Structure 1
Amino acid sequence: MNLTPYTWAVIIGVMTGFFSRLRMLRTDYRQYPTYLHGQVIHLSLGFIAAGLGAVAVPALLEKEYTAITFLSLAAQQFREVRNMERESLSKLDQMELVKRGPSYIEGIAMAFEGRNYLVILTAFLTSLTVVVGTWYLGILVGLVAIVITGVLQSGKNLGQITEVRPGELRMEEAGLYVDDIYLMNVGLKENRQRILDRGIGIIIEPKNVDSRITLANAGQRQAILHDASTILGVYRDTGEPSLTPISKRDLEDGRLGVLLLPEDRNEERAIRVVQKVPVLESAVRLPEEQPDRA
């Protein structure tokens, strides 16, 4: 069977684009997408995105400029994917004992939209290489693009911008402290003892001004509590506000005091979990990179 160069370009472009999306689809501790139906939805959209990117090259080379219209329609459709993810995660968040929070949800929804654009770019570059070069060179470019997209999907984590260490939980009358950072008032003696017995105190110290401002973001702090509670479990139930993981800042130096109430009381593991919490895009601020203004 003799296939034209355009046909090879589309086939190889679709394959590399689809494998790129497959590599970026991971079911991790955030438990989304967990079930087969959610994975099928994202893989199907990835296949469509790969097809659009691969077909765009032959269409443009044949001066079929109306193909650009399909790319613009695809971009609109992928924005709807972002809205769908935001709505789904917001509904799921209502059932969580420790919520993700709007900032974390928006970051996940944005990532799902962005990954489809990476698929289009991977398929487009692969298809273009096959047309202007050879099929094996196109496969090589596709493999390199798959590796790059895998790198691009992972951002910074908290351990890269802060120092995370254990903190001492203590009570001063009804006040709960981790080291010298006040967390909250605990009224019932029973709950005070349960917190001291089951809780883990953590101090997060920012490395510079940028990370200090990132830690001040309420969405970033909620992401820390949610991820730690998801991985370690949470020792609480509904209707018990005193048994709630919490974080508070020291306003003088920007340190963050964190109280965790895990089912698995493992301090070393809790430190590692907090270090791996992703830095939310909405929380990133870079005041040190701004030029001085007169």
Structure 2
Amino acid sequence: MDGYEQMILLGIGLGTLVRMIELRIDYRQYPGYPHGYVVHSTLGFIAAALGALVIPALLEENYVAVTILGAAAQQFQNIRTMERDFLTEIETTELVPRGIAYIENIAKVFEARNYLAMMTAFFTTIGYYFLNLIGGLIVGGLTAYFLDKIMVQKTVGNIANIRVADLEFSGPTGSNIGVEGVVMMNVGLKEALEQWKKAGIGIAIEPKDDDARATLANIGQRQAIVHDVANQLGVKLDIGVVDYTPLARLNLDTGRVYMIIIPIEPDEECVKQAVSSTPILEEARRRPLQSKAGSAAAD
């Protein structure tokens, strides 16, 4: 493909750069550094290379080369499987597990980001062909920006109101821990009960509409909230110490979700922020209001 070197290199370069920018390590520490960076940077480079080769292949009427995109899509699906299997294997090492739904969500994101690199490279070469080098950079940059905005996930704070709620201790011995009438757990040890009274924090998550109510009722979504809060603020928990396990329970009458936790950093506002920033899992998202029956029932 003589004469297309600059076009191809521009597409590969911008596509790989976009994938590198998306490799951000946050509080989840995933992907890990440096091994995770090497793996996903290499895959991003391959995805960008495939996207950059499409236009030159079509211009040369080499249609067989374009069929390699089908094989690439299969490989990216294998990436999703690889991430899912890896996270599932290490799930037993988490004091507060992510949950199957959260794992599937993470795996899907890593697959999608390779398509982001591929599409960025593809549209960069289109811009280069019809415009020039600067045009290719602009078209590729706008493509990456637009796709990145589409891929942004909503958070719990977008669909629910979050507030701190007092822990309630009921029962003959005061060993039932609850929030606003919802019993969360029974604590048998006096020492554990004292810890809950001293440092325990209760959170009420009130859905803004029936769509949010159905989403928050999902077990995977609630587990993701508990995991993210424990991951960001720490949790006083160890193997076999079940009395300190953070929990999220549903009020069946109101649809509110209540969470209790003893964080290492006992700052109520920070706990609220951690809950608010938890992503809404695609696998947990529900839209009953989009159906005729659900909309009529809500009225």
Shorter-normalised TM range:
over 0.9
* Cα offset, 1:189, TM superposition: 2.1
Q: Which residue of 2 aligns with 1:279?
A: 280
Q: What value does the CA root-mean-square deviation take over the aligned residues?
A: 1.4
For 1:21-170, what aligned pairs fall within 5 Å after superposition? 21-170=19-168
Q: Which residue of 2 aligns with 1:192?
A: 193
Q: Which residue of 2 aligns with 1:13?
A: 11
1:226-258 C-alpha deviation (Å, 9 max, x unpaired): 000011001011101111000111100100110
2:205 partner SS: strand
Separation of aligned partners in 1, 2:24 and 2:138: 24
Counterpart of 1:140 in structure 2: which amino acid? Answer: I
User: Does structure 1 retain, via aligned residues, the 8 Å contact 2:244–2:261?
Assistant: no
User: Does structure 2 retain, via aligned residues, the 8 Å contact 1:216–1:254?
Assistant: yes
TM-score computed with the length of structure 1 as normaliser: 0.96
Separation of aligned partners in 1, 2:179 and 2:143: 46
Separation of aligned partners in 2, 1:149 and 1:289: 25
Q: Does residue 175 of structure 2 align to residue 174 of structure 1? A: yes
Separation of aligned partners in 1, 2:23 and 2:107: 13
- Mark the runs of 5 or more structure 1 residues left unpaired by the alignment: none
* Cα offset, 1:210, TM superposition: 0.3
Counterpart of 2:246 in structure 1: which amino acid? Answer: P
Q: Which residue of 2 aligns with 1:218?
A: 219
Counterpart of 1:157 in structure 2: which amino acid? Answer: T
TM-score computed with the length of structure 2 as normaliser: 0.94
Separation of aligned partners in 2, 1:203 and 1:292: 28
User: Does structure 2 retain, via aligned residues, the 8 Å contact 1:20–1:149?
Assistant: no
Separation of aligned partners in 2, 1:291 and 1:69: 42
* Amino-acid identity (%): 43
1:202 partner SS: strand
User: Does structure 2 retain, via aligned residues, the 8 Å contact 1:170–1:196?
Assistant: no
2:242 partner SS: coil
- Mark the runs of 5 or more structure 2 residues left unpaired by the alignment: none
Separation of aligned partners in 2, 1:130 and 1:187: 69
Q: Which residue of 2 aligns with 1:288?
A: 289
Separation of aligned partners in 2, 1:219 and 1:125: 36
